[in-house]
Structure 1
Amino acid sequence: MKSVLNRYWQFGYGIFRISGREFVRDRCSLQASALTLYTLLAIVPVMAMAFGIAKGFGFQQYLETRILSLFAGQEQVIQNVLAFSANLLERTKGGLMAVLGIIFLMYALIKLMGHMEDTFNRIWRVRGNRRIIRKITDYIAIALAAGLLVIFSGSATIFITGYLEKFMAILDLPAGLGRVISFGLNVFPFVTVWMVFTFFYMFIPNKNVNVRAALGGGIIAGTIFQLAQIAYVQFQVGVSTYNAIYGSFAAIPLFLLWLKTSWTIVLFGAEISFVWENFDVLQTDDPEYEHISIRVKKLIILKIAVFCVNRFAQGRAPVTSLSVADHLNLSVNITSVFMEKLVHSRILFKVSAPDPGFAPAWDIERLTVMDVVTAFEKMGEDDLYLGDTLELSALEQSLESFAAAARQSSGERFLKDV
């Protein structure tokens, strides 16, 4: 029993430690600031679109109530946003303004979700985003699905909570059981947030995310988000002095702070999902690229090239930094550096569809060990002027002779035959 608990403790500690490291490395705090800006630009158009749909189905009032409950502590700002949204809907009724309004709504939504995808793809080491048609269709579908998830899960929570409270009032339950049920009722608001976070982690990255990893990140980040929300509401009670100084404008910086904190939690949850999914690979400590010897660098790029050639010859999906890191038992971060070096050397090229990854840029039937080594050695600028002397010419001739001798040696072979 003790060993099992110790194993879970080590796993949990490792998840948080590596997630924190990756959070800093991926500059998630800066990305959260950018997402805060995009949210400010998109919040009114997105709200207007949501209320336009809700009005058509007759649950506009309920949607407003749900939004105010979700943005607890931000009532002053949200009331203004709702007023702006209603005004935008009124101004875009009929004719050319309606068309322009719809285009603006779609642009704001796609811009916000596009930056979300960029950030999530960077976290998951995914090369290449969705194509423009897939962006339009997927983003609209994700936004509608997330909205419906929030609305209906919230309705289910209210329905179940209400009936359970009536049920408890009718039955004379033991004190212990009553406390357990009361605890369950308090947990229900967390479930909605867990579902939304998990939904985002599963469907926004341009890859198939492991369900367990997405759920783990969603539960952890959703719980932190709810606790932060409760703390924020309590914090607002203690800022009467701040309100006295800034008046009604006090809501704006507080709302910005809340948005930045919310996006920071969302991105930290994404890092948790990524680390959970690739825990074994990410446990490896990162060596600095500059500290790796030239000989070991050549061995690594050759092993990567052989792995890519074999996968390509078998007709399998392109390799990714994660699959290469797992194959070579390297950290995913140092592997990503080597993958970029191989792309710059024109040994590999990036594939964006249908499966993002890397594939050989050469004919695999002719690609040899020396082809890879030579391309790697020649990567970068080679037009630096070193003078025109007999000494330099002799050294260049020696290097060319070594390369020619290597191509004639028994060590030269096709990568497909390694």
Structure 2
Amino acid sequence: MQTKAVKNIATQTYQLIRLVWSRALRYQVSLRAAHLTLATLLAAVPIITIVFGILRLTPAMVSIQDSLVAYVETHLAPGSSSTVIPYLLSFSEQTKNLPAAGIAMLILTALLLLNSFEASVQAIWQVKQKRNIRERLLTYWAILTLGPIMLAVVMSLYGTLLSYQITGDYIPDFLKGIFELSSYALYFLMLFTINFLTPNAEVKLKPTAISALIGAIAIAILNSIFANFAQFFASYKIVYGAFAALPTFLVWLQASWLIILLTVSLNATLHKLDRVKDHIKLE
């Protein structure tokens, strides 16, 4: 009986993978990931400028900036982020000298990235009815404003746990677990939020959580691969010098967007299977 159950699970898993892969191919997920990678390069400086501008509104959050940058450098494109991030921060600082029209163009660039991602999600979900401009702008602005604030709160909790660990104070076991799993929890929350809020359709919690969990594990594995093979990517410095960090960062960014869009494809497939099951039950 156990062997039969294992075979059934394996068969269902294989069929699910085939359905997800078929959906990914049908809606050109790899091409959309490449498009979002390019859009991210263009929107990276505007988004950083907006995030830090929001954090500077509250004195308590200003002190979190350095911790936030260090945290991002640790978990963003291991092996290249320590080179790329300082450049992006430097470019962001230069935006202070821009006129009002320039600032408006930066905000527009960030909004276009969010719009491109939303269009990809709606296509994968086969959603034809789009949100109106007012709803989209409100959603994008909420992401650009509430996102940094939530991240700052998480970083504050992270810093508190880290200070307790450094000073040797007693930390409950469950808090130690949270501390060790904080990166994975952030990946999960990010993917869950994206998959739950972006589709213009009825979204259920369970399949969305499953998709986000699998995506978080995949991103963690990707970062582990980049961290373990950092010396391999560093060999590019012999030829390209400091410029070697850019192709490494691009490969990581492309792979990350591909994982994100595959989680969207998985979530849409799971919802479709749920609708089929519900229809069979009604019959």
Q: Same fold (TM over 0.5)?
A: yes
Q: Report the TM-score when normalising by structure 1.
A: 0.59
- Structure 2 unaligned spans of 5+: none
Distance in 2 separating the partners of 1:30 and 1:188: 31
> Secondary structure at 1:130's aligned position in 2?
coil
Task: Show the counterpart of 1:276.
Answer: 270
CA gap of 1:15–1:145, structure 2 versus 1, over 3 A, is farther
Task: Show the counterpart of 2:88.
Answer: 81
1:66-94 Cα deviation digits (max 9, x unpaired): 33233243111111000000111x213xx
1:70-126 Cα deviation digits (max 9, x unpaired): 3243111111000000111x213xxxx1x3233113211210011111100011110
Shift of 1:280: 5.2
Task: Show the counterpart of 2:196.
Answer: 202
Distance in 1 separating the partners of 2:8 and 2:266: 18
1:132-153 Cα deviation digits (max 9, x unpaired): 1222111111233333333333
Structure 2 counterparts to residues 16-415 of structure 1, below 5 A: 16-58=17-59, 59=62, 60-71=65-76, 72-73=78-79, 74-88=81-95, 90-92=96-98, 97=99, 99-160=100-161, 163=164, 185-279=179-273
State the Cα RMSD in Å: 3.0
Shift of 1:8: 4.5
Contact 2:55 2:148 in 1 (8 A): no
Which one has the largest radius of gyration?
1
CA gap of 1:270–1:154, structure 2 versus 1, over 3 A, is farther
Shift of 1:185: 4.7
1:155-200 Cα deviation digits (max 9, x unpaired): 4345446647877x869x9xxxx9x997765333201110011000
Distance in 2 separating the partners of 1:66 and 1:278: 37
Identity within the alignment, %: 23
Q: Report the TM-score when normalising by structure 2.
A: 0.84
Shift of 1:23: 1.1
Distance in 2 separating the partners of 1:9 and 1:166: 48
What one-letter code is carried by the residue in structure 2 that aligns with 1:91? Answer: N
My pick for the range that moved more, 118-127 or 231-240, is: 231-240
Distance in 2 separating the partners of 1:282 and 1:247: 55
Distance in 2 separating the partners of 1:87 and 1:115: 26
- Structure 1 unaligned spans of 5+: 284-322, 328-418
What one-letter code is carried by the residue in structure 1 that aligns with 2:244? Answer: A
Shift of 1:242: 1.5
Contact 1:18 1:282 in 2 (8 A): no
The structure, 1 or 2, with the larger RCO (C-alpha pairs under 8 Å, 6+ apart) is: 2
Distance in 1 separating the partners of 2:267 and 2:66: 35
1:234-293 Cα deviation digits (max 9, x unpaired): 22212343210111111111111111111001001111111121225689xxxxxxxxxx
- How many residue pairs end up in the alignment? 274
Distance in 2 separating the partners of 1:252 and 1:190: 25
Q: Which has the higher helix share?
A: 2
Shift of 1:57: 1.5
What one-letter code is carried by the residue in structure 2 that aligns with 1:69? Answer: T
Distance in 1 separating the partners of 2:38 and 2:19: 28
